[in-house]
Chain A
Amino acid sequence: MRTNLRFRPVAVIGAGMTPFRRRMLDTPQELAWEASRRALDEAGLELRDVDCVVIGSAPDAFDGVHMKGEYLAHGAGGVRKPVSRVYVGGATGVMTAISAWYHVASGLCQKVLAVAEEKMSPGRPHPQSVFRYIWDPITEKPLNPNLIWIFAMEMHRYMNVNRVSKEDIALVSVKNKRNAKKNQYSQLGGDITVDDVLKSEVLVWPVQLLDVSPVSDGAAAMVLVSGDIARRYTDTPIWVEGVGWTLDNTSWPGRELAYPRYLENAARMAYKMAGIERPQKEIDVVEPYDPFDYKELHHLEGLLLAKKGEAPTLMREGFFDVDGEIPSSPSGGLLGVGNPIAAAGLMKTISIYWQLKGTAGGMQVKKSVHTGVAQAWGDLMQASTVIVMRN
């Protein structure tokens, strides 16, 4: 039941994705094609029905192609159509859906295909090396940083300020990899224990191997259409009811990292639009961005689903389990499904869509769900994107 009457109605009527894997033979264009085809099939549309395409992809350096959106357009159905690419680092996946929303909500487009792709495997000697170029070229890059440093610094600050243990954080990894067992697209589903996490290779203390999502290739796609069209194609459209995004400043060494204030800002924007006043009471299922296990906790707090520093306690109590009060990452998240950056963010959005539609199969949460939230995060501990959907 659609409740937001202020904006032109926009619904999701189809979604599709490729499996996420460490390395695919297929080119970025072919991955994008596969996801797009599956999304169109689920929606019951053909490419000729689509009038606009929105592409999401994170660093061009992964695929090794400059102007990657232009290159991907051909696989994403973006031929002889309005095509553009949005980009907010790791937060891109959800931004792709948000952008598709305003393409339709503006009245400029009726049927939009949103496609996100990432192929991280081509980078040599390791995809990690690409991340050296995300830092300030003058004041940071000369220190030869790697990406995990940034997460480790934020994680340790979060642990220090909120007195959170490694054991509590590891529970997220355990939960998400367990949830991913039910997800046919997942790369790393399985049963692991807290002990496995704590005994895994130390990469950058406090980050260990099993705290981290894997390097992946993959693509995801979604079809968003205006309200009257949606009803022609499906009896169960899923409505986009709130969108929000925020970028904090570039100067991350000069600000508090224990709490993602930019996410709170983005969440408040989306909640206000969706008319959500008490997030913990009104949100039924959530997909917070979890490239690292602590990030899910960090983000649940920023999404106002737990008080500052209290997400670990709720996690321990099973509040966020698949049969808990607010199931979190029922898809298995990036930790379990894999992390082809932009595609992972759109995968989270698709997971909420399938949950609300009731077609999540083995991933379907026990409780009945009406309102779901997906979120992604990126840049230099800086960007967040939030989308609220209802059935």
Chain B
Amino acid sequence: MEKVAVVGVGWYGFSPHVHDLSFREMMFEAASRAYYDAGGMDPRKDVDTFISCQEDFWEGISISDEFAPDPIGGAMRPTMTVAGDGLQGVAHGVMQITSGLADVVVVESHAKPSDIITFSDVVKLSEDPIYVRSAKVPNIHFVAALDATKFLSRGKATRADLAEVVSKNKSAGLSSSKAPYAARIDKDYVLSQDYVLTPFTRLDIAQPVDAAIVVVLASETVARRFSDTPIWIHGIGFATDSSNLELATLGEARYMRLAAERAYLMAGVESPLKFRGIFVDDRYSHKELEHLEALGITDVVEKLREGYFHPGSYLPVNPKGGLLAKGYPLEASGLSLLLDAVEYMREGEESAIVGSWRGFFTFTGSVAVMSR
């Protein structure tokens, strides 16, 4: 595959409640920053296609695609929506470039969960309408809890290991400018909290956050016109396990394994251990470990206990705090991890793997393999 570069990133928000800007204004702020970052690119001239990643019920607007073009410079241009995670949008962008259709693609995603009054009810609308939704389970974390219980029942990880993930990520977030949920807490503090539902305390569950993120992708041929320090995407993959809850695999992240297989094949990755950082969805504490396993890293629990994944160690995992510290901006979650990876490599690290997930009730994830 022809390499594709990230030549610009911009973001706005990462606040639990951006009350003074509409989602469109947030998109414009994020886009302006991304174009400035991409060497002062003019989106009205320099960009070939635009991709927005959003879902109607998150927006409270039917056909929210209508609002995609204007604030990112995409009016009267080829603009479209991928109803999925931002990293899936990046995959579509990569395909538009490698097919020869575009040289520069802009991928945007945003989230304004603070606008949603009935957040849990909206999440429940993604359950199968005929029978899962009729079961009227008391809270939206039940599948995550089943998944975590299954994961723990395999006997390697314990509740304390999950607490270690929480402590590691929330502390790491203190060094990030976009981590409203960062906190210096230790494992014992997490373990002392009451369960929300076993095996989770409220600290094990990431919170939604308002944010808009824009990423500018460019083909290998034109990348250096916009950036002296492009970050390369060597491989990208995405996959859905099974969207029917009772048929999907619990206790392991098969979607992530399938996505990683494709991305690794494309990039010629021999071992993920050779990378300098991993940025992976941790919206529930156990998911970080489950996702690391799916990325092909063995003995994750042992490695966690040895400090292998801590910032500054052999293979830092979520060194900018992950979603536990930053919050998860709905469909922009994948882009928020990608953003961290780009910043991390711009600070001097060689390479990174990004692994995103769309959250329950989905079994869909994406993986990107990147280097400086």
Footprint of B on A, CB under 8 Å? 6-8, 27, 58-61, 63-74, 78-89, 95, 99, 101-103, 105-108, 130-131, 133-134, 137, 243-251, 261-262, 265-266, 269, 378-380, 382-383
Contact = CB atoms under 8 A, between A and B. Distances in A.
Residue with the highest number of chain B CB atoms closer than 10 Å, among A6, A72, A89, A130: A89
Contacts of B198: none
Nearest to A245: B78
B84 A133 contact: no
B243 A74 contact: yes
A59 B56 contact: yes
A7 B126 CA distance: 38
Nearest to A60: B56
What bracket does the count of chain B residues touching chain A fall in?
Answer: 35 or more
A249 B75 CA distance: 5
Given A60-B125, A74-B247, A247-B76, 8 more contacts: A65-B126, A66-B126, A79-B242, A87-B63, A102-B92, A250-B75, A266-B78, A379-B66
A16 to B, nearest CB: 21
Given A66-B123, A249-B70, A80 B129 contact: no
Interface stretch (B158-166, B307-315, B358-366): B358-366
A59 B62 contact: yes
Contact of A246 (B78, B88, B237): B78
A73 B239 contact: no
B94 interface: yes
Interface in B214-237: 237
Contacts of B66: 89, 134, 250, 379-380, 382
A80 B68 CA distance: 30
A248 B82 CA distance: 17
B239 A82 contact: yes
24 contacts: A59-B63, A60-B56, A61-B62, A66-B55, A70-B363, A79-B243, A80-B240, A81-B258, A82-B91, A82-B239, A85-B84, A87-B80, A95-B80, A99-B80, A99-B92, A102-B95, A106-B99, A107-B99, A108-B91, A246-B76, A251-B70, A261-B76, A265-B76, A382-B66
Contact of B82 (A79, A81, A86): A86
A64 B92 CA distance: 26
Nearest to B115: A137
For the residues of A in contact with B, the DSSP-based class is: mixed
**Which 10 pairs from chain A and chain B are nearest by CB?**
A105-B99, A66-B125, A106-B95, A133-B62, A66-B57, A247-B79, A66-B126, A249-B75, A83-B240, A106-B98
B237 A82 contact: yes
Interface in B67-104: 67-70, 74-84, 88, 91-92, 94-101
Contact of B88 (A84, A89, A106): A84
A176 to B, nearest CB: 24
Contacts of A137: 60-61
B254 interface: yes
B188 interface: no
Contacts of B240: 70, 73, 78-83
Contact of B98 (A66, A108, A245, A262): A108
